[in-house]
Amino acid sequence: MFPFDVILFDVGGVLLTNGWDHRERTAAAERFHLDAAGFETRHLAAVDAWERGTITLDTYLDAAVFNQPRTFSRQEFFAFILSQSRILPGGALGILGELAASKRCMVGALNNEARETNEYRFQQFGLRRSFAVSFSSCYVGLRKPEPAIYRRALDILGVAPERVLFIDDRPENAAGAAAEGIKAIVFQGEGALRSQLASLGVL
């Protein structure tokens, strides 16, 4: 018997680059000549609501970037955000494809992401072809590592926690899943993950 009914992947830091993490925001501040400290403060004040899906991209950009007149457009800035999304070198995209193709279990996403960037990343990198389900923060209104997001996923899946495997690059997110009884792996590269999955009887 296959050891899990469901395997859930984080996206940024596991399959793709984070896309809009501190490094990318620093690059944006340099590219668009923003005050980096002020931009970061405004970003942090707005990103939680954006990733929960309670505000739109325009509202986020109003708060974080266009709090004053700029010499560039919203479209230019959002295009820069999207350009930061790439396949993660040494990531688990190949493993995701193998597991989805095997049809031995349900494969899905459990990630923190704003709706506009999430939908771009899912489409641009073909993730929807592998994901049968998506517990993205922008869809469920909850964020990792809050216990409620893992409980919501379990409620919707209707499976026992021990029948779910979760893979995330951030220890605090893996620990949050483990606290709800989910088997969790901290992603440390494709090779390490393949070994861990082999030891669990997944690969």
Residue by residue, what is the 3-state secondary structure of the chain?
A: CCCCCEEEECCECCCECCCCCHHHHHHHHHHCCCCHHHHHHHHHHHHHHHHHCCCCHHHHHHHHCCCCCCCCCHHHHHHHHHHCCCECCCCCHHHHHHHHHHCCCEEEECCCCCHHHHHHHHHHCCHHHCCCEECCHHHHCCCCCCHHHHHHHHHHHCCCHHHEEEEECCHHHHHHHHHCCCEEEECCCHHHHHHHHHHCCCC
Do 117 and 192 have their domain in common?
Answer: yes
Number of domains in the chain: 2
Question: Is residue 94 domain-shared with residue 190, that is, in the same domain?
Answer: yes
What is the number of other CB atoms lying within 10 angstroms of the CB of residue 74?
Answer: 14
- Same domain as 59, residue 123: no
In whole angstroms, what is the distance from residue 131 CA to residue 107 CA?
5
Indicate if 96 and 169 belong to the same structural domain.
yes
Residue 1 lies in a domain: no
Same domain, 11 and 110: yes
Instruction: Evaluate whether residue 58 is within a structural domain.
Output: yes
Range of the domain at 111: 6-17+88-199
Distance CA 101, CA 147 (A): 30
The answer as to whether 171 is a domain residue is: yes
CATH of the domain at 115: 3.40.50.1000
- Cβ neighbours of residue 158 under 8 Å, at least 6 residues apart? none
pTM of the predicted model as reported, rounded to 2 decimal places: 0.96
Instruction: Answer yes or no: do 127 and 71 share one domain.
Output: no
Q: How far is CA 40 from the centre of its chain?
A: 20
Among 83, 107, 124, give the residue marking a domain's end.
83
Give the pLDDT score at 17.
98
Spans in the chain with pLDDT lower than 50: none
